Structure 1
Amino acid sequence: MRLIVENLACRRSGRRIFSGLSFVLGPGEGLMVTGRNGAGKSSLLTMLSGRLKPDAGTIRAEGIGEANLPECLHVVGHRDGLKSALTAAENLEFARDLLGNPAASPKAALEALGLPHVARLPVGYLSAGQRRRVALARLLVCSRPLWLLDEPTAALDLASQGVLAGLMGRHRAEGGLVVAATHQALGLEDARELRIGPAAPEAVSEAAFEAEDWL
């Protein structure tokens, strides 16, 4: 899969947040989206997911056949999107059956995130960090080439951040793509950085690039 973004612009509540944003992401590549709060990092991920229409520009994917781009990605956002009354295993089973590979193992996914002991506990009883890890475990039961991660290390301790870095590394080694909005290093080796420059109410924010080979 190859993700191509050209001259993207975003407008929220009648105000232009950013414009002129372009990049290409190929198999095995990672992109860290950085910038101040309000610069448009989450809005960019929302546009890539298809839930927000760009004010200008295009987003397209190559190498996905007849599939639509939203069918080829998985999003982990600020909200965990878990059902509190269901157990951790049941949440993963639901995600697997709806979106993923029927052969994927929720048990193995929880073990990969260091959570085998919470499999049968309702998610509502878990700590914020545990809930975050259950949300990240869905990446392993929903086989999608593009991961969109919004502040994925929120509520994670250092050990869990290392686990996440390993998961992203393996995903990229298998040809997957990662786009992560973040305020801190994620362990994304050789990842490009896209800095969306400071949002100001009276001015249009422009995208600043800190990598080569942009369109």
Structure 2
Amino acid sequence: MLEARALTCVREERTLFRELSLRVEPGDLVQIAGPNGAGKTSLLRLLAGLSRPFSGEVLWQGEPIQHGRDGYHAELFYLGHQAGIKHELTAFENLAFFRRMHHGQSQANLWQVLAQVGLAGLEEQYAGQLSAGQKRRVALARLWLGGPRLWILDEPFTAIDKHGVKVLENLLLTHTDAGGMVLITTHQDLSLCAGRVRTLTLTPSLEE
């Protein structure tokens, strides 16, 4: 279980949100919504342990994440605005490298995974030569390797076509059906997840 208790986030002397609390349990799919500037990305980074709150705390399995950071990150897959892939490696090599680093026990067929995300025929293309949408697909392919129970995804549908959106939505449902947890920001209408997604809406703070 992931829990945020009374989080306050301040960026450049501006309070983005104050005393925000949130609980995410196995099977939950939570969408963080709100206009630009409301603090969606900042909240996800706090929950992922990539930045520290002005006040409040984030807990995993009842313990503050800073007390067991390595164990927490082993249970976490975080995808930010940047794809986080190596441009000098091919799409296949990127996925193989990530598996060696984080999913050594995964038995997933990497060729099939890349085909699943629409990269069939591009497996041996250098990532630096791929389009923005194709690079995003390489990053998203890591979700098919299994492993982490908690997924924190910041705008994962960026530069993805309609078919890719449906494929990823189905994966989110499969993951949560198996007891996984997902936090996501997106401007995309999650039509396949309707009825399953719980929404937390942030509003811009007027405090300076």
8 Å contact 1:6–1:21 — kept in the other structure? yes
Aligned partner letter, 2:118 = G
Residue of structure 2 equivalent to 1:57: 56
Unpaired runs of at least 5, structure 2: none
Residue of structure 2 equivalent to 1:213: none
| Equivalent-residue separation in structure 2 for 1:16 and 1:45 (angstroms) | 16
Residue of structure 2 equivalent to 1:192: 198
Equivalent of residue 173 in structure 2, options 169, 175, 192: 169
Aligned partner letter, 1:131 = K
Equivalent of residue 159 in structure 1, options 158, 163, 172: 163
RMSD of Structure 2 on Structure 1 (CA): 1.8
Deviation at 1:90, TM superposition (A): 0.4
Residue of structure 2 equivalent to 1:4: 3
Per-residue CA deviations over 1:13-67 (Å, capped at 9, x if unaligned) read 2222111211211111100001111111000111111110011112111289x76
- For the pair 1:135 / 2:139, whether they are aligned, the reply is yes
The count of corresponding residues between Structure 1 and Structure 2 is 200
8 Å contact 2:5–2:22 — kept in the other structure? yes
**Aligned pairs for 1:44-83 within 5 A:** 44-62=43-61, 68-83=71-86
Residue of structure 1 equivalent to 2:149: 145
| Equivalent-residue separation in structure 1 for 2:78 and 2:155 (angstroms) | 11
8 Å contact 1:107–1:119 — kept in the other structure? yes
- For the pair 1:84 / 2:87, whether they are aligned, the reply is yes
- What fraction of aligned residue pairs are identical, expressed as a percent? 38
Secondary structure (helix, strand or coil) at the match of 2:38 reads coil
| Equivalent-residue separation in structure 1 for 2:185 and 2:82 (angstroms) | 14
The 1:39/1:8 distance shift into structure 2, 3 A limit, reads same
Aligned partner letter, 1:154 = T
Deviation at 1:142, TM superposition (A): 5.2
TM-score (norm 1): 0.87
Unpaired runs of at least 5, structure 1: 205-215
- For the pair 1:35 / 2:34, whether they are aligned, the reply is yes
| Equivalent-residue separation in structure 2 for 1:105 and 1:141 (angstroms) | 9
Residue of structure 1 equivalent to 2:121: 117
- For the pair 1:97 / 2:100, whether they are aligned, the reply is yes
